[in-house]
Amino acid sequence: MNQKAIGIFDSGVGGLTVLRQIKRELPDESVVYFGDTARVPYGSKSAKTIERYCIENAIFLLEKNIKMLVVACNTASAYGINKLRRLFNIPVVGVIHPGAKAAVAVTKNKRIAVLATRATVASEVYPKAIHSIDPSIEVISQACPLLVPMIEERMGNHPAAALMIEEYLQRVKEKACDTILLGCTHYPLLHDEIKKALHPSVFIVDSATTCSKEVKEVLLELGLENRKGSSAETRYFVSDDPEKFRETGERFLNTPITEVLLEGIH
Ligand code: DGL
């Protein structure tokens, strides 16, 4: 059991920010990653559709014989995680609760801004998760639908991205939030640009880093960690266009990806 892989899925390439952190946190663990590139983006889809995609993605990964499922996509975590936990008999870790917990731990003025896709904002999962820990915190949710395509089109440091970030952060600044939660897989890649647009004292919490810490905690708690080391491997599967995934993925991971297989739901 311990040598089985951790399964991670995302709507596409964005979840590699979570994979990167998990590999840092747990270098001895094997990982199977599934990017649902045929059906990306999830952020503009309806709740029912996202939930169905989550179940199909989980079944695909379970067939790869995994010991734990990580839902790297914020939108998928928002709509699918409860259903996945009810349906499948392995630990399921998402990105919402770890991110919310970390943001609550750092805010001092109790004003947290959450940047996410439209669907994640509409689900209100982040405010609910934050309020379940501390109901007195004010949460300002901001949908940033143009940031994902900007990042995927390599325009993260284009002046247009800076303008967009400025626009999206306007309300956040007006409300003087001291903590920004990056509630989307892609936004860690704009960390520096977002930081530049804010007062230096503002904390930035990213749900990819906090999720990887939770994955480690759960593995250790359940005694599921790989104790044999050295045999760790990472395999990538997508539902469409493996070459595009490889190219963009290498940029996200900052390391070469040798093989991406076209499999699963397409
Ligand atoms: N992975 C999605 C998320 O974290 C962003 C991309 C999409 O809309 O599918 O919400």
pLDDT digits (tens, 9 = 90+) for 239-256: 999 999 999 999 999 999
Q: Does one domain contain both 149 and 187?
A: yes
pLDDT score, position 20 = 96
Last residue of a domain, one of 207, 223, 250: 207
CATH number of 123's domain: 3.40.50.1860
C-alpha span between 25 and 36 (Å, rounded):
24
Mean pLDDT of 109-137: 98
Categorize the per-residue pLDDT at 266 as very low, low, confident or very high, splitting at 50, 70 and 90.
low
- pLDDT tens by residue, 45-89: 999 999 999 999 999 999 999 999 999 999 999 999 999 999 999
Q: How far is the CA of 168 from the centre of ligand 1 (A)?
A: 17
Q: Does one domain contain both 32 and 110?
A: no
**Closest C-alpha to ligand 1, atom 6:** 41
H or E segment at 113?
A: strand 111-116
Q: Does one domain contain both 31 and 78?
A: yes
Q: Does one domain contain both 72 and 164?
A: no
Q: Does one domain contain both 58 and 113?
A: no
211 annotated active-site: no
Handedness of CA 84, 49, 181, 104 (dihedral sign): negative
Q: Does one domain contain both 107 and 186?
A: yes
> Relative to the CA of 14, which ligand 1 atom is closest?
1
Q: Does one domain contain both 134 and 172?
A: yes
Q: Does one domain contain both 89 and 221?
A: yes
Mean pLDDT of 158-182: 97
pLDDT score, position 81 = 97
Q: Is residue 229's pLDDT more than 80?
A: no
Q: Does one domain contain both 198 and 227?
A: no
Categorize the per-residue pLDDT at 230 as very low, low, confident or very high, splitting at 50, 70 and 90.
low
Last residue of a domain, one of 168, 192, 207: 207
> Whose CA is closest to 57, among 40, 46, 45?
40
Owning domain of residue 189? 96-207
- pLDDT tens by residue, 185-205: 999 999 999 999 999 999 999
pTM: 0.95
In the chain, the percentage of residues whose pLDDT exceeds 90 is 94
Q: Is residue 213's pLDDT more than 70?
A: yes
**Which amino acid is it at 85?**
R
The answer to whether 42 is annotated as binding is yes
Q: Does one domain contain both 213 and 90?
A: yes
Sort residue 110 into left (φ over 0), alpha (ψ -120 to 50) or beta: left
Mean pLDDT of 25-47: 96
Q: How many domains does the chain have?
A: 2
Q: Does one domain contain both 22 and 146?
A: no
Q: Does one domain contain both 173 and 229?
A: no
Which of 123, 148, 190 to probe ligand 1 with, by most ligand atoms within 8 A of CB? 148
Helix, coil or strand: residue 112: strand
Categorize the per-residue pLDDT at 142 as very low, low, confident or very high, splitting at 50, 70 and 90.
very high
